[in-house]
Structure 1
Amino acid sequence: MMSSTSYRGRFAPTPSGPLHFGSLVAALGSYLDARAAGGRWLVRIEDIDPPRCPQGADATILRQLERFGLQWDETLCWQHNRHDAYQQALDQLIDQRLAYPCSCSRKQWQSHAIYPGWCRDGLREPGKPVAWRLRSDLAKRPIVWQDRLFGAQQFDPVALGDVVLKRKDGLWAYQLAVVVDDAEQGITDVVRGLDLLDNTPWQRQLQSALKLPEPRYLHLPLVVTPDGQKLSKQNLAPALAEDEDGMRRQLFQALQALDQAPPAALATEPPASQLHWAVANWAIERLSPTEHRRSP
């Protein structure tokens, strides 16, 4: 077990809508892992894409977390305030010739599985708006790490392609922002959904290039709909319950989705009691490395 001074975890939602059951499972997993280690648990609002973030969604998310008893430590981090830090990181990559401007549109390379790197050695269409991409061909190969649930991971960065770091519209892309923010906040452990596992190679590449610490990773099984789709805001997953009975039931179901085998009597207990039990009994050894959990 890590000491209270060394473990730092986080939950980093995009405020594109209220939290749903899948979000609760991810938040709860990261919260329990931090609290069971005697560590700190932070919340970061990943609002770098304003068109996806309706007004008031961030406040709704924070209220939901508080109502479920998931109280964070330290000051909230808002990505919309972090432009200068992201630009500094991009400038470092440009200086190392690991990032390059790209004028290509998605339509131009849609017949390719990944972007083929046409602008690596110069813009194909000078004068057009540009995105900034990360060169995958200059990364150390392969990229390897040990996931705490899914074990040894190995990816060829070239097979993943040159990910966008800054979009043509000037907005920052997730991969760069999350790496810079995790380092700034001293995050030691990233606990998140399995859908982000294949993002990790780009993040490891960026951590290496920017000489930043590499957190440990624990990717949690995804909650899916009855037809096997990821439970998400995009497929209109319902918001978390607001009534007391519904909240107790959903928190208990989230513990079940995390394979923690809570005793049946816990289902009628308030969130504080459920969380007290869950922190004391948290064991990732119980987690089954299967990819999906059915939504209740």
Structure 2
Amino acid sequence: MALVHPPISRSDPAVLRFAPSPNGALHLGHALSALENAAMATRLGGRLLLRIEDIDRTRCRPEFERAMLADLAWLGIGFEMPPRRQSEHLDTYRQALGQLDALGLIYASFESRGELKALVAEREAATGRSWPIDPDGVPLYAGTGAAMTAAERNEGVASGRPFALRLRMAEAISRLGRPLTWTEVDETGARLRSVAADPACWGDVVLARKDVPTSYHLSVVVDDALQDVSHIVRGQDLFEATAVHRLLQELLGLAEPLYRHHRLILGADGRKLSKSEAATGLAALRAGGASPADIGRLVGIDPRTDI
């Protein structure tokens, strides 16, 4: 059954979601995103959902989830419960992946990270030019998976070798046949501008792996559609990834939400906060005597007035 979903009606109640991964302690950056979502849901008179993005079973742990839920409850943010856990919906993501495969847009690649790094180095040496990178600074796929025959792909999968399933980006864009955009809104939900989406800059992105039948890109667009999310509020670090999400939404017949990409909380080194930075962890700040209002002031949102 296809995942085709009717367009979101702007007259329907707004639906927002906060979707952390339980792979470490929540920090001030997560607090900002959670509070931004809560504030917009309040302003729009909408619903606020919690999603647990736990597809990475090697890093996501139950103790991290319990700590995360305790931090969010302490902040005073009210989510509709129970949360949606991605690990409980892998068949849904397989279904979406199957739709793309039926369109001829999926292929398997079998190179390891080390082999891909070596291929990039060889091509740079041969051409004298730097190999293109995606917006996250990762070299675009340089392997030969796209040229493999179906028999070669099946043989590789049957052999038990690790593999990644990638999107044939050029073919996907060509199939769509028109420019892609998304609508960026401000903190009140009012339209700011239309943004041109350039999914090609990501190359042939990974949509699943041998051990996990999905990726962040695939599962997030499927979940947002199935949960009727109308406004996606997340950090500026995911701004460019929206191009991939818009492409997948169109290919899968999923509704297009509105987007708001808020500022980031940066560390002393000027970089985005990491879960390894204990000093900015909510649990550590709480243990040190901070109150929810203190957290709000630190991130520039006052829970007492904005939520």
Instruction: Please give the range of the TM-score, normalised by the shorter of the 2 chains.
Output: 0.7 to 0.9
Aligned to 1:178: 220
Q: CA deviation at 1:5?
A: 4.0
Change in Cα spacing, 1:4 to 1:142, as seen in structure 2 (3 Å) is closer
Output one character per residue of 1:55-76: Cα deviation in whole Å (capped at 9) or x when no partner: 3111111111111110102431
Output one character per residue of 1:188-226: Cα deviation in whole Å (capped at 9) or x when no partner: 010000111111111111100100001111001111012
User: What SS class does the counterpart of residue 165 from structure 1 fall into?
Assistant: strand
Contact 1:49–1:171 (CA under 8 A) maintained in structure 2: no
Is 1:242 matched up with 2:275? no
Aligned to 2:303: 275
Aligned to 1:159: 201
Aligned to 2:99: 92
Aligned to 2:183: 146
Q: CA deviation at 1:275?
A: 2.9
Structure 1 stretch 67-76 or stretch 108-117: which is displaced more? 108-117
Is 1:253 matched up with 2:304? no
Is 1:114 matched up with 2:140? yes
C-alpha distance in 2 between matches for 1:66 and 1:144: 36
TM-score (norm 2): 0.78
Work out which of the residue numbers 10, 16, 28 in structure 1 matches 2:17. Answer: 10
Equivalences for residues 1-296 of structure 1 within 5 A: 5-110=12-117, 111=120, 112=131, 113-116=139-142, 118-122=144-148, 126-127=155-156, 128-138=161-171, 139=173, 140=176, 142-149=179-186, 151-170=193-212, 172-236=214-278, 238-240=280-282, 241-242=285-286, 245-254=290-299, 256=300, 274-279=302-307
User: What SS class does the counterpart of residue 52 from structure 1 fall into?
Assistant: coil
C-alpha distance in 1 between matches for 2:180 and 2:111: 27
Contact 1:100–1:133 (CA under 8 A) maintained in structure 2: yes
Output one character per residue of 1:230-249: Cα deviation in whole Å (capped at 9) or x when no partner: 11214555311325643321
Structure 1 stretch 8-17 or stretch 97-106: which is displaced more? 97-106
Change in Cα spacing, 1:238 to 1:253, as seen in structure 2 (3 Å) is closer
Contact 1:15–1:46 (CA under 8 A) maintained in structure 2: yes
Q: CA deviation at 1:109?
A: 2.8
% identical aligned pairs: 36
TM-score (norm 1): 0.81
C-alpha distance in 2 between matches for 1:252 and 1:59: 25
More helix by share: 2
Q: CA deviation at 1:163?
A: 0.9
Give the aligned residue type for 1:248: A
The count of aligned residue pairs is: 261
Q: CA deviation at 1:24?
A: 0.2
Change in Cα spacing, 1:198 to 1:74, as seen in structure 2 (3 Å) is same
Contact 2:38–2:48 (CA under 8 A) maintained in structure 1: yes
User: What SS class does the counterpart of residue 137 from structure 1 fall into?
Assistant: helix
Output one character per residue of 1:90-114: Cα deviation in whole Å (capped at 9) or x when no partner: 1111001122222222323322430
User: What SS class does the counterpart of residue 76 from structure 1 fall into?
Assistant: strand
C-alpha distance in 2 between matches for 1:108 and 1:153: 36
Change in Cα spacing, 1:218 to 1:26, as seen in structure 2 (3 Å) is same
Contact 2:76–2:292 (CA under 8 A) maintained in structure 1: no
Question: Structure 2: which 5+ residue stretches go unaligned?
Answer: 1-8, 121-130, 132-138, 187-191
C-alpha distance in 1 between matches for 2:240 and 2:143: 20
Question: Structure 1: which 5+ residue stretches go unaligned?
Answer: 259-273, 280-296
C-alpha distance in 1 between matches for 2:12 and 2:181: 27
Give the aligned residue type for 2:297: F
Change in Cα spacing, 1:220 to 1:159, as seen in structure 2 (3 Å) is same
Q: Give me the CA root mean square deviation.
A: 2.3
Structure 1 stretch 144-153 or stretch 198-207: which is displaced more? 144-153
C-alpha distance in 2 between matches for 1:117 and 1:38: 49
